[in-house]
Chains A and B, each alone.
Chain A
């Protein structure tokens, strides 16, 4: 029987670690995607995503169900990622290298077996995209990744980042414009 997120949360609040394990199973990939999109570093993303779940577990007594569990969880993950990124101050090149393999795999996954040119173009686009994202600030990365990964509304994204819908819209507009400028010929 599939329990709802809220039912699982209530079980966690009563000390049921297995219920929390179920929540992790439901959301770990999404959380990892968001964190990876902000950090662009596989190992760091793994660490921060695990830490986000741990913090959620530690604070779960305080979760009253006022918002969806995943909104609350993403908020923890995004804030941790932004803090982490600001502390690390890695150079874009160092970040870019870690994602190259992912880009290769993405291109292979989306490959149209009959058209090697399209495969190459897709791979090239992926590489350029990762490089272009690295040039955005963590705040801009966060909005564009949350929108791309989860299709969250501006209201939800604003709630997670502690800013207004207008700010989310303006950050998204700026981030997309920057990406389009960088990717121009590949789009």
Chain B
């Protein structure tokens, strides 16, 4: 039956390779024995296998052991210890020409970090980030108002004071008005 032959052909390779379970293998064996088409298919599969093995065996039989081993041994003797290979890999980084570049690069990097710390006080490698004390100053009707906010303790200080320059210009005397907190 054609359908049956198709099923068998799909499993023929696995059957020849001994990869089918006992029941399936037995079913296929019985079919192949009674079916000339599947029997021919089996012969063709076996022929491919035998021909391939024949070609490869003939070719490999021409390879003598000594030259083969010499090639392997040469590779082994050229193999350096792991530390030597690691050093060889890393050594170019320590060439004087590369160090000559590395020094200014390191200086620029340090300066950049220093500037960041200097001009952005809250930026200290992530420590105290967000704990920023900010001072705002505005001029309001003759008073200068300074507002100091500190985020960690949530403290706000409002500082009102008169401009010293205006007082000096008006009286030449120190003002009696102290800053009010």
Contact = CB atoms under 8 A, between A and B. Distances in A.
B63 to A, nearest CB: 6
Contact of B68 (A24, A42, A165): A24
A12 B79 CA distance: 15
Interface string B71-87: 11101100100000000
B24 interface: no
A149 B51 contact: no
Interface stretch (A1-9, A79-87, A179-187): A179-187
B54 A110 contact: yes
B71 A50 contact: yes
Interface of A: 17, 20-21, 24-25, 28-30, 32-33, 36-37, 42, 46-47, 49-51, 53-54, 57-58, 99, 102-103, 105-106, 109-110, 122, 125-126, 129-130, 133, 144-145, 147-149, 153-154, 165, 169, 172-173, 176, 179-180, 183, 187
Interface residues of B, number: 33
A154 B19 contact: yes
A169 B68 contact: no
A102 B59 contact: yes
B1 interface: no
Question: When A and B form their complex, which 6 residue pairs have the shortest distance between CB atoms, in order from nearest?
Answer: A102-B59, A54-B75, A50-B71, A106-B58, A187-B44, A33-B56
A54 B72 contact: yes
Nearest to B47: A187
Interface of B: 10, 13-14, 17, 19, 43-45, 47-49, 51-63, 65, 68-69, 71-73, 75-76, 79
A25 B51 contact: no
Contacts of B52: 37, 129, 133, 144-145, 148
B150 to A, nearest CB: 59
A36 B60 CA distance: 8
